[in-house]
Every structure is written in C-alpha cells, then in structure tokens.
Amino acid sequence: MLQGISNEAFVLGCSAIGAGIAMIAGLGPGIGQGIAAGKGAEAVGRQPEAQGDITRTMLLGQAVAETTGIYSLVIAIILLFVRPLLAGL
C-alpha cells in the first residue's frame, strides 16, 4: 500500500494533515468571541452605566479565549515549516 512513498514524504504528509487539524481549533475561539461580544452588547443595552466594567470583562475573556487559536496557529506553523518530525529520519 505504501510502496513508492519515501519515509520523508509520508512524514511531511502527516505533518500537513496535523497542521490542518490544529487549525480547526481556531473555530472555537471565533465562535466564542462572537457570542461574548453579542452578550456584552446586550448587557450594555440593559445597563449603559456599567459599560466600562462590561467592556473590560468582555475584552479580558476574549483575550483568554484567543490564546487557544494562537497556540493552534503556532503548532501548525511548527509542523509545516520547522519540520521537527524529520530530525529522526
């Protein structure tokens, strides 16, 4: 089944698949941040005098949620460009 495929080509193909799977993790933060922004807008609509506190709390939560997307991007870049799995071949 794998005849004619070198070890290096197989590892590079698996790395590309792994990078694609890692980037799927970017969907969660995007959806979560959209929901948080919507809820923050609702909260400001209900209590306009608390806008500063609501905005600060929302931005802190979004920053924490964004770290998941950034970590997945870093993993994908490492798999595609640094090629750590080829060191042992």
* pLDDT tens-digit map of 62-87: 888 888 889 999 999 998 888 887 87
Residue-number span of the structural domain to which 35 is assigned: 30-81
In-domain check, residue 53: yes
**Spatial contact of 41 and 34, defined as CB atoms under 8 Å apart:** no
- pLDDT (tens digit per residue) in 10-31: 888 999 999 999 988 888 888 9
**Spatial contact of 56 and 62, defined as CB atoms under 8 Å apart:** no
The CATH number of the domain holding residue 75 is 1.20.20.10
In-domain check, residue 41: yes
| Total domain count, the chain | 1
Please give the DSSP secondary-structure letter assigned to residue 86.
G
Distance (Å, whole) CA 49 – CA 88:
60
In-domain check, residue 76: yes
Distance (Å, whole) CA 12 – CA 81:
10
In-domain check, residue 55: yes
In-domain check, residue 5: no
